[in-house]
Amino acid sequence: MADIITRLKDIYDRYNALSEKLSDSAVIADAQEWGRLAKEQSELAEPAQKYAEYAETERAMIQAAEAEKSETDGDMRRLFDEEVQSCREKLAALREEIKIILLPKDRNDERDCIMEIRAGAGGEEAALFAYELYRMYINYCERHRLKLEEVDKSETELGGIKEVVLNISGKGAYRLLKFESGVHRVQRVPETESQGRIHTSTATVAVLPEAEDVDVEIRDEDIRVDVYRSSGAGGQKVNKTETAIRITHFPTGIVVTCQDERSQLKNKDKAFKVLRSRLYDYYNSRNQSEQDARRKSLVGRGDRSERIRTYNFPQGRVTDHRIGLSLYSLDTFIMGDIDEMIQALAVAERENMLAGSEE
């Protein structure tokens, strides 16, 4: 634990050094440098504050212990002893908080994200389930004041969704939704089932952190941009002009389409945003095998082929298989009330990271 406190002291010293730099007239005159240093200081604020609290409590404990030794009055000695014990308990609690604060942060947590929902096995029932997931996430985003924009959507004639790509922006968008990647399974009696048999269908969800221009280089010679007419469910034309965009990235084979906007330029901007995020995810998954292994050891987020959750309608139950949590509130869950599950997944990841750091 001494190493952790030493590390925290270094952070505290760096935080104070940054405070001095930010008040320097030369730094204030350089807006870009001031912004960079201010961002770094902001990231260090919580651990610096926690160190100050820890150091102050430790000083109070030492002073109380010394006063207890020199005190001859029995009642006063008991009071000082109680203060020492109180400080010890507070220090123990602070050490646990410090462990959590110093856990590695996911650098993508505060980014916007791209969410892709696709119907899986189960035909039309899978497409209808994909639509319900789509509606669930819309409601969840509204609860958390996240902005949601459609990039591309392919519907079925019965109101289901073959595929939908969403751009979700707002504070902590990726952090709030990153555990949703994987295969979602539904068990229920479809409306078209005359004999009342329970069917199992699936839909896949992928959540990608939105990449910035500096994260991924897209060379002109590596892509082809095609323009075509937008179409709706059943092949009906929804736009008579060529505004839809298809971008093909030759090195990876990734293809992105966007036909949500009536403006070709807006569709192109959205398509490039999705392409950057898919490439960012593609190269990260190839080059960061250690991180991938760590993710699998936590709650399995990131693997789109992994079955993560079952929605059992006859029992009104939703179960997340990564942490073994079942909630019997499927009716409200499917309408976007998924905070309890997401919070449980975040706690499970944190506990696994803590266990790993103590090995």
Picking from 350, 307, 309, the residue whose alpha carbon sits closest to that of residue 333 is: 309
Note the pTM of the prediction, 2 decimals: 0.68
Rounded to 5°, the CA angle 175-178-182 comes to 170
Rounded to whole angstroms, the Cα distance separating 39 from 181 reads 30
Per-residue pLDDT of the chain (359 residues; tens, 9 = 90+): 667 888 889 999 999 999 999 999 999 999 989 998 998 898 899 999 999 999 999 999 999 999 999 888 888 999 999 999 999 999 999 988 888 888 777 778 888 999 999 999 888 999 999 999 999 999 999 999 999 999 889 999 888 999 999 999 998 899 999 999 999 999 998 876 667 788 999 999 999 998 876 678 888 899 899 888 766 544 444 455 678 889 999 988 999 988 877 788 888 888 888 898 888 888 777 655 544 444 444 444 444 567 999 999 999 999 999 999 999 999 999 999 999 999 999 888 888 877 765 55
Alpha carbon dihedral 218, 220, 223, 228, in 10-degree steps, equals 120
Half-sphere exposure (Cβ direction) of 55: Cα atoms closer than 13 Å: 13
Rounded to whole angstroms, the Cα distance separating 209 from 167 reads 10
